Amino acid sequence: MYLYGKNSILERLKVNPKSIKKIFLQYNFNGPYILNLMKSSRIPLERVSEKQLTRIKRADRLQGIVAEVDDFKYADFEELLNKPPNKKPSFIFLDNINDPHNLGSIIRIAACFGGLAIVIPRHRSCAVTDAVMHVASGGENFVPVAMVTNMSSSLIQAKKADYWIIGAAVEGGENLNKVSLPFPICLVLGSEGKGIRHGIDKHLEMKVSLPMEGTSLSLNVAMACAIFCHEIARQRPLV
């Protein structure tokens, strides 16, 4: 896999430099802090032209730096589920999220608020790709992401572990500004076009909607996720 862009590579250098196999720098790259971290971590370096760099990784906004890194390591869902009470994460289940920019943004949002873990299905969903990590801007280093074969079965497991299953609804749910969220919590977010699938919907114990009194435009899933995560962080019990 390849990381690209200064922020993504800087965070990886600070948090997990051992996962970096090699870094390619454009000849005119200027970033003393990054260079010092690379040197202290003894990461192999190769200077290349802009044309060579784009051959290594075809993407926009390379910012003169590309890193070859270990494959992304998914977290084990059962291990996350069975953490001790003071370390239990709040889960964000993503149903049918296929846009890497949305997934990357959600990972970054979860990293900013902390105490969150993400669950994605193995099929009919975007995996954690190079593009996802670029958008996450280093957030993947701080947020466990679990990939499960069956979302319904995983939600049932969560219920058995005393989690509450809450679904984000475009309309018809309880007002997020007025509801008292139950913890530990699993928040389910569906795709912008289809919402939460019926097979997943039947497991919900509560639906919550964002109060919006403006025009009839809808938020994309990452924007909505940020608002829900803020409320989860605001209401979650102190441990």
Complete DSSP assignment for 33-78: HHHHHHHHHT--EEEE-HHHHHHH---S--TTEEEEEPPP-PBPHH
* Distant-in-sequence, close-in-space partners of 123: CB < 8 Å, separation ≥ 6: 149
- Rounded Cα–Cα distance for residues 33 and 6 (Å): 10
Structure tokens at 141: 């280093």
Q: What percent of the chain has pLDDT over 70?
A: 96
pLDDT at 81 over 80: yes
Average pLDDT of the chain, as a whole number: 94
What is the model's pLDDT at position 69? 98
The better pLDDT of the pair 96, 33 is held by: 33
- For the chain, list the domains and their CATH numbers: 2-69 (3.30.1330.30), 77-235 (3.40.1280.10)
pLDDT at 199 over 60: yes
What is the model's pLDDT at position 214? 61
pLDDT at 225 over 80: yes
pLDDT digits (tens, 9 = 90+) for 110-160: 999 999 999 999 998 899 999 999 999 999 999 999 999 999 999 999 999
Q: What percent of the chain has pLDDT over 90?
A: 85
Beta strands in the chain (DSSP E): 2-4, 20-26, 45-48, 65-69, 90-94, 116-121, 145-148, 164-168, 174-175, 185-189, 206-209
pLDDT at 15 over 80: yes
What is the model's pLDDT at position 40? 96
pLDDT at 60 over 90: no
What is the model's pLDDT at position 219? 81
- Rounded Cα–Cα distance for residues 11 and 31 (Å): 14
CB 205 within 8 A of CB 165: yes
| Amino acid at site 43 | I
What is the model's pLDDT at position 239? 64
Helix 6-15, helix 32-41: angle, nearest 10? 40
| Amino acid at site 176 | L
Confidence bin at 48 (pLDDT 50/70/90)? very high
pTM of the model: 0.94
- Rounded Cα–Cα distance for residues 110 and 104 (Å): 10
Among 145, 163, 148, CA closest to 203: 163
